[in-house]
């Protein structure tokens, strides 16, 4: 059996057993007119990977087809279905006979979309026609190589984040660390709790049993890495979310995975600057005053003083001088105000609870939680945390 037949069978099996789609935001509308484009894709004359993808666009910018690269025996193969326009609808879904098309390549390792060019100009391919899926006559050779050049692609890599924070409600000056009363009472939920408004984070961080939490666990927190520059005023944030992860906060203030390992971020570009934003379900969120540089390992300590958080009075100084996140933002809207008191008043006496209105994280909602709110009321978070 020759190589072409082997590869074609492999490509067919891949497309039968899984949906061949791009991992980038290529939106395709399948129609009853289509043809197949075959070949090999390389990036800077090096093999592409199975996590990469390729797409075809018609002359008006419609994405007419998209597929994951098929990686086989060290080669990245293109098996791309390019759809035609459905004449029975008013929309333009794809190609018309004689229309030219272009190719775009998505490099997953750098999160970059690259045009196929020749002599520095985006190349327009001729010869599309409806073949009912049969490979196009000009593009039916799996040995034809289409090289995509990218001079500024920066590889995305895993970054190990070490960040330190203290929650006012749980911090004990005499100990120099936070208490773990929620853990001791088996009240910390097994699944991360930020899968609801206002966070709507759909991460799957969890443990199977309460005994699987680290022995020094305080609570869940949500960590975001953001690009851009934070704003002191205005209605729009200056930073944009790049990636976020839920983690377990330890008594010493470090954020780790539920299994005790360091939190990894996978979508950062090496050498670029990011700000760290920490969210908690009933403390005022904070964002780092200075950016960190993406590298294999990042460290940032919010606890050394209150100026480690961006903005004016975004943290409270403890009696021993460390910086604390303000307790009392029960509604988690970035402002400690009357609405937080209203929420506490509606459920001001609860035992053995994991509640937003439990300001000191002891598993009981009572007057002491009101006291935290009272002394912190009128604290306003910066634009980027709201």
Low-confidence ranges of the chain (pLDDT < 70): 1-25, 153-157
pLDDT, position 92: 86
pLDDT of residue 151: 76
Q: In the chain, what are the domain boundaries?
A: 3-148, 157-385
pLDDT of residue 7: 42
CA dist 128 and 148 (Å) reads 21
Tokens of 163: 């960040």
CATH code, residues 157-385: 2.60.40.4130
Q: What is the pLDDT of residue 14?
A: 37
Counting residues of the chain whose pLDDT is more than 90, the rounded percentage is: 75
Strands 239-250 and 217-228, bridge-based pairing: antiparallel
Statement: the pTM of the whole predicted model exceeds 0.75: no
Asked if residue 180 lies in contact with residue 223, where contact means CB atoms within 8 angstroms, the answer is: no
Query: Is the bond into 181 cis (omega within 30 degrees of 0)?
Result: no
Which residue(s) pair with 241 in the sheet? Answer: 226
The tokens describing 180, both together, are 């773990």
Please tell me what DSSP assigns to residue 335.
Answer: B
The tokens for 189 are 């939920």
| Tens of pLDDT, residues 261-292 | 999 998 888 889 999 999 999 999 999 999 99
Whole-number pLDDT of residue 155: 60
Alpha-carbon span 350 to 364, nearest angstrom: 6
Q: How far apart are CA 321 and CA 229, in angstroms?
A: 27
Short-list 384, 108, 113, CA closest to 240? 384
Encode pLDDT of 210-268 as tens digits: 999 999 999 999 999 999 999 998 888 999 999 999 999 999 999 999 999 999 998 88
Average pLDDT, the chain: 90
Q: Reply yes or no: is the peptide bond before residue 78 cis, omega within 30 of 0.
A: no
Computed from CA positions of residues 73, 154, 158, 245, in that sequence, does the dihedral angle turn out positive or negative?
negative
Compute the C-alpha angle 45/46/48, nearest 5°: 120
What is the pLDDT at residue 4?
44
């Amino acid at each position: 059996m020759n190589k072409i037949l082997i590869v074609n069978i492999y490509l067919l099996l891949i497309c039968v057993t899984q949906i061949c789609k791009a991992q980038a935001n290529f939106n395709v509308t399948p129609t009853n007119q289509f043809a197949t484009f075959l070949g090999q894709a390389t990036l800077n004359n090096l093999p592409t990977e199975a996590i990469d993808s390729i797409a075809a666009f018609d002359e008006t910018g419609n994405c007419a087809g998209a597929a994951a690269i098929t990686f086989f025996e060290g080669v990245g193969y293109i098996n791309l279905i390019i759809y035609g326009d459905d004449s029975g609808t008013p929309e333009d879904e794809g190609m018309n006979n004689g229309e030219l098309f272009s190719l775009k390549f998505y490099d997953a390792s750098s999160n970059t979309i690259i045009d196929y060019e020749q002599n520095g100009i985006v190349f327009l391919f001729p010869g599309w026609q409806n073949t009912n899926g049969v490979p196009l006559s000009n593009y039916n050779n799996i040995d034809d190589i289409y090289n995509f050049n990218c001079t500024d692609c920066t590889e995305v890599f895993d970054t190990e984040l070490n960040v330190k924070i203290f929650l006012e409600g749980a911090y004990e000056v005499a100990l120099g660390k936070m208490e773990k009363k929620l853990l001791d009472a088996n009240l910390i939920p097994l699944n991360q709790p930020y899968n609801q408004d206002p966070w709507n984070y759909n991460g799957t961080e969890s443990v199977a049993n309460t005994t699987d939490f680290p022995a020094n666990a305080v609570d869940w927190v949500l960590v975001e890495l953001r690009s851009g520059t934070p704003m002191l005023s205005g209605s729009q944030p200056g930073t944009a979310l790049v990636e976020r992860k839920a983690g377990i906060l330890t008594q010493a203030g470090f954020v780790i995975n539920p299994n005790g390992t360091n939190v990894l971020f996978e979508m950062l570009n090496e050498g670029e600057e990011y700000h760290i934003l920490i969210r908690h379900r009933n403390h005022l969120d904070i964002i780092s005053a200075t950016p960190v540089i993406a590298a294999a390992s990042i460290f940032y300590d919010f606890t050394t003083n209150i100026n480690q958080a961006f903005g004016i009075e975004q943290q409270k100084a403890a009696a021993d001088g460390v910086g604390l996140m303000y307790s009392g933002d029960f509604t988690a809207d970035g402002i400690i105000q009357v609405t937080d008191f209203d929420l506490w008043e509606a459920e001001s006496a609860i035992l053995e609870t994991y509640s937003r209105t439990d300001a000191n994280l002891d598993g009981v909602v009572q007057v002491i939680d009101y006291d935290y709110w009272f002394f912190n009321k009128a604290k306003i978070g910066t634009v980027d945390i709201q």
